[in-house]
Amino acid sequence: MVDAAVRPKTTRPHADSADANLRFDVARVTDLLMGTWADTRREARELIKDSAFWRDDELGKDEHRERVLSQLHLLVENKAVHRAFPKSLGGEDNNGGNIAGFEELVVADPSLQIKSGVQWGLFGSAILQLGTTEHHEKWLPGVMDLSIPGAFAMTEIGHGSDVAAVGTTATYDPSTEEFVINTPFRGATKEYLGNAALHGVAATVFAQLITNGVNHGVHCFYVPLRGEDGVDLPGIGREDDGLKGGLNGIDNGRLSFDHIRIPRTNLLNKYGDVAADGTYSSAIDSPGRRFFTMLGTLVQGRVSLDGAASWASALGLKIAITYATQRRQFDGADGQEVVLMDYGKHQRRLLPRLATTYAQIFAHDEFLQKFDGVFSGRTDTPDDREDLETLAAALKPLSTWHALDTLQEAREACGGAGFMFENRLVGLRADLDIYVTFEGDNNVLLQLVGKRLLTDYAKQFTGKDAAALAKFAVGMTAGKLFHGAGLRQFGQSVVDLGQVSRSVENGLREEQQHMLLAERVQQMVADIAGRLRPAGKDKVLGAKLFNENQAELIEAARAHAELLQWEAFTDAVHRVEDADTKKVLTWLRDLFGLQLIEKHLAWHLINGRLSTQRAAAVSRYIDRLCGRLRPYALDLVDAFGYEPEHVRAPIASGAERKRQDEAREYYAALAASGDAPVLEKTLKKNAKR
């Protein structure tokens, strides 16, 4: 961290003098950001200070893959991968802590984070969550100690997010009590699988379970890929995906199966079983509910991506903002070159993204608490699982999109230095690119959230009589007329409080921000539901209307996720007792809320939620907030808790300040010596006198 005593003082003219002298408690905010499993995060960060875990940018694809495999063995040696596994097998039954520690690996090397996630979070978790005690005892010890490296074979070339429609089949043969795993056509090839190209010796394969001529839908099977001799078994097709746009430390590949036979007991049968005679049984009668229950047990991939993407954004901002407080460019009014962070545009490009990153980290911790409650069994009900899946589908898209946007903006904000691989930003962005489409394409996930919002909206009318529905319809109309007529609940005009900035500040505080964000979600869902209602039970018309409103439904889901993040940020602010620290975090929360309102100003204006005067003033108040936050920019990124071994970017090491100081000292000494050359424009100016 940078010592506050040696930081340059800002002379930002837009910041009130009092704003620049608050005491910001970095350590307290670090604790807030680290969240519920702070001790586990610190333990993981201490472990990855060892350079053996760091990405080596000089390695080619093949060497990078072998290095990451060796790093997985180091994780095993350091007992860093067992947290989520049962205590009976040497684990800790600590689901939340497991994800928290796993996410921290992203700052060492995203390839390490994802490959370990494949091994223990997907392959191992499928056995743990979908199998029974027999499967656990047989395979999990090898999964845990890495003697059984494995692939998670769900995705197919022809069916990415549409898992229910996978083409791979598992047909039961009662004469031998075996399942026959088969890839019937090219589009059913399992694709993009970590550990599939080289290291995997087994796979958890998702296939259509067929017995006695009936397809019982997608189930998961443990399928060996190699024999004791290390050679692929007959019928196993394995191809290397080769060089990718990022994450090249992972041996992604594709698998196909040519009538591979496995024992009946290799069916991971927690939710569905097949007897020796081929009779199928399941405690969950509905095939659809059974399918979603099985997939819901594997939600932790999305949980971890949300957290890892948020912390990757934090690392990018730590690098860019540190550099921006040291790099100088262009002479200021005092004749000294100006620090980049003192430019309004630079604040505008980085500080709102910093505010969003804080919101995402706080939301992620609440999300992780929900995950741990469900997977520990404390709050494991169908409703809780549905809520968890909806949260995962809402938050993962926003955090992964934000990471790409933030890392790109951070790269540009650092100019040519940001483009140098040694400064981490381009490598991080390339590695995180795939986060937006694996574990569920972001738009598909948000569509799931939108459908849930529509379902919850419809539940309001279940059992209502005609009079109640009519009353609701009148209320909706009255609400629209109320807002459309400009009779707003706060501040009809910017002149009501005099100064524009003060008017917005007093009229768009916590309560009003929440109102605007929440009402936007409610209104969007209500409008879409109204447009879908004419379809009734007409499936053809229903599909047509849904498709026409799909884009807006996804936008409503995004608005819902943004509201969740804002609420989590606000909850975190309320937990801070120190007045100065709370004030700074409140400004940062306000910046997050107001930039969301600014982003959707057109909607707020069209729907009469803001006057044109107040809408026009929102952007100016955001500028004012950026100025207030400028003196605390370094404190806010220091609060992420990253140490030099985590950052590993020369431009964020203090080297830039040293160069700048050297240059300033040189020119000061030259001026003092009397030997400084006279500028041509000075000569010409003097000649005109």
pLDDT tens-place string over residues 363-410 = 999 999 999 999 988 988 888 888 999 999 999 999 999 999 999 999
485 and 623 both lie in a single domain:
yes
563 and 625 both lie in a single domain:
yes
464 and 523 both lie in a single domain:
yes
Residue whose tokens read 């003697």: 147
663 and 633 both lie in a single domain:
no
Banded model confidence at residue 263, pLDDT cuts 50, 70, 90: very high
Q: Cα dist. 185→211, 262, 661 in Å?
A: 20, 20, 65
Report pLDDT digits (tens) over 83-120: 999 999 999 999 999 999 999 999 999 999 999 999 99
Q: What is the DSSP letter of 676?
A: P
Judged against a pLDDT cut of 90, whether residue 660 lies above it is answered with no
Could you give the CA distance from residue 303 to residue 440 in angstroms, rounded to a whole number? 12
What is the reported pLDDT for 656?
A: 85
551 domain residue, yes or no? yes
595 and 663 both lie in a single domain:
no
Backbone angles phi, psi at 145, to 5 degrees: -95, 5
Question: Can you tell me the mean pLDDT for 419-447?
Answer: 95
Question: Which amino acid, 636?
Answer: L
600 and 658 both lie in a single domain:
no
669 and 627 both lie in a single domain:
no
34 domain residue, yes or no? no
Backbone angles phi, psi at 518, to 5 degrees: -70, -45
Could you give the CA distance from residue 183 to residue 191 in angstroms, rounded to a whole number? 12
396 domain residue, yes or no? no
- Single out the residue in 278, 313, 337 at which a domain terminates: 278
Report pLDDT digits (tens) over 20-52: 789 999 999 999 999 999 999 999 999 999 999
- Single out the residue in 257, 278, 299 at which a domain terminates: 278
CATH number for position 274? 2.40.110.10
604 and 670 both lie in a single domain:
no
- Single out the residue in 258, 278, 298 at which a domain terminates: 278
570 and 663 both lie in a single domain:
no
What is the reported pLDDT for 160?
A: 81
The single residue of 104, 191, 439, 656 carrying the catalytic annotation is: 439
Report pLDDT digits (tens) over 132-164: 999 999 999 999 999 999 999 999 999 887 899
585 and 610 both lie in a single domain:
yes
Question: Can you tell me the mean pLDDT for 196-225?
Answer: 97
Judged against a pLDDT cut of 80, whether residue 1 lies above it is answered with no
165 domain residue, yes or no? yes
Three-state secondary structure along 176-205? CCEEEEECCCHHHCEEEECCCCCCCCEEEE
What is the reported pLDDT for 437?
A: 93
- Give the count of alpha carbons within 13 A of 491, CB side only: 27
Instruction: Compute how many other C-beta atoms are within 10 angstroms of the C-beta atom of residue 267.
Output: 23
What is the reported pLDDT for 4?
A: 39
Nearest partner of 457 among 553, 326, 344, judged by Cα: 553
Query: Residue 598 catalytic?
Result: no
Judged against a pLDDT cut of 70, whether residue 591 lies above it is answered with yes
598 and 681 both lie in a single domain:
no
505 and 575 both lie in a single domain:
yes
The distance in angstroms from the start CA to the end CA of the chain is 52
What is the reported pLDDT for 452?
A: 92
Nearest partner of 300 among 43, 84, 600, judged by Cα: 84
What is the reported pLDDT for 423?
A: 96
CATH number for position 491? 1.20.140.10
For residue 506, what are the domain limits? 460-638
Banded model confidence at residue 296, pLDDT cuts 50, 70, 90: confident
What is the reported pLDDT for 496?
A: 36
Judged against a pLDDT cut of 70, whether residue 268 lies above it is answered with yes
Could you give the CA distance from residue 423 to residue 411 in angstroms, rounded to a whole number? 9
What is the reported pLDDT for 17?
A: 52
Q: Cα dist. 134→97, 137, 266, 270 in Å?
A: 26, 5, 10, 11
Judged against a pLDDT cut of 50, whether residue 233 lies above it is answered with yes
Provide, rounded to the nearest whole percent, the portion of the chain with pLDDT above 70: 90
Domain count, the chain: 3
573 domain residue, yes or no? yes
Backbone angles phi, psi at 580, to 5 degrees: -65, -45
Token pair for 412: 């540009």
Most confident of 258-267, 462-471, 602-611: 258-267
What is the reported pLDDT for 658?
A: 87
212 domain residue, yes or no? yes
283 domain residue, yes or no? no
98 domain residue, yes or no? no
